[in-house]
Structure 1
């Protein structure tokens, strides 16, 4: 009886992990691909708050107390900032899981501009 319970639990875990994997694969394949870099266009960078939005996981990456956090919405101290509010830069050559590793590159390439204007609306991580 114990063996049957263990097998049942393992089967449930296996099925749920396969389902999650298939769901993630389907989502990433629906993202647009940059023809030059052959990367999924997964992230937006917001220069004025130095944060990112992940189009795959639908979460924001932002710093709070010196630590990177993820959440579906930005905290209230960001003043209700949203995906479609203010200036954003499309990250077109990075589609891994930690865009904030390139924050220093993005800050140099796209410094905050209060008018939201950039010479080029895409950025490449080096």
Structure 2
């Protein structure tokens, strides 16, 4: 009986760990990154003009030129490690569906030079700085409303017979 409980418990652990790993493996593969522009879920590639690189949405890889060849990597090269992906502009390449978007690099580099900005973009996620700014703004607006309400109360009739304010 004790052996059966141990075997059953072992099977339960194995199944639960297998289920957990399947969920973990499938999350975010082929879906836009949190810093990706909203509204382009079916896009395969972005061109990042500021760093002259591409991002392969399906493979979750950056593609950049280095050492005389195009490199695919889960990260940008070292010189761009501090690049703000949330704030940087992403050119959505709707017209390309191959494995080598860089075959049009000369055209992209001229058409979308460093510093290029098109229409404003909203990302799927919030960059920590943006989120903090949002919360600060909200907190200050609430404080300002509270201060105005307190200030308004000072001018309302509190039984002093001035005839102004709420009753």
* TM-score bracket, shorter-length normalisation: 0.5 to 0.7
CA separation in 1, counterparts of 2:65 and 2:46?
A: 15
**Structure 1: runs of 5 or more not aligned:** 1-22, 34-40, 122-126
Q: Secondary structure at the match of 1:68?
A: strand
Which ranges of 4 or more aligned residues in structure 1 deviate by more than 4 Å? none
Change (3 A) 1:82 1:70: farther
What is the TM-score normalised by the length of structure 1? 0.57
Between the aligned partners of 1:71 and 1:107, the Cα distance in structure 2 is: 20
Question: Is the Cα contact below 8 Å between 1:53 and 1:83 reproduced in 2?
Answer: no
Determine which structure has the larger helix proportion and give its number: 2
Question: What is the match of residue 118 of structure 1?
Answer: 118
Q: Indicate the residue corresponding to 2:73 in structure 1.
A: 71
- SS of alignment partner, residue 69 of structure 1: strand
Q: Which has the higher strand share?
A: 1
Query: Contact 1:47/1:107 (CA < 8 Å) preserved in 2?
Result: yes
Relative distance call for 1:120 and 1:96 in structure 2 (3 A) is farther
RMSD: 2.7
Larger Rg, first or second structure (1 or 2): 2
**1:91 aligned partner:** 93
Write the distance in 2 (CA, Å) between the matches of 1:69 and 1:55.
Answer: 15
What are the superposed Cα offsets for residues 14-73 of structure 1, whole Å, 9 maximum, x if unpaired? xxxxxxxxx9xx959xx844xxxxxxx110101111100000000000111221101011
Structure 2 runs not aligned, ≥5 long: 1-25, 32-39, 122-167
**TM-score, normalising length: structure 2:** 0.44
1: CA distance, partners of 2:73 / 2:88: 19
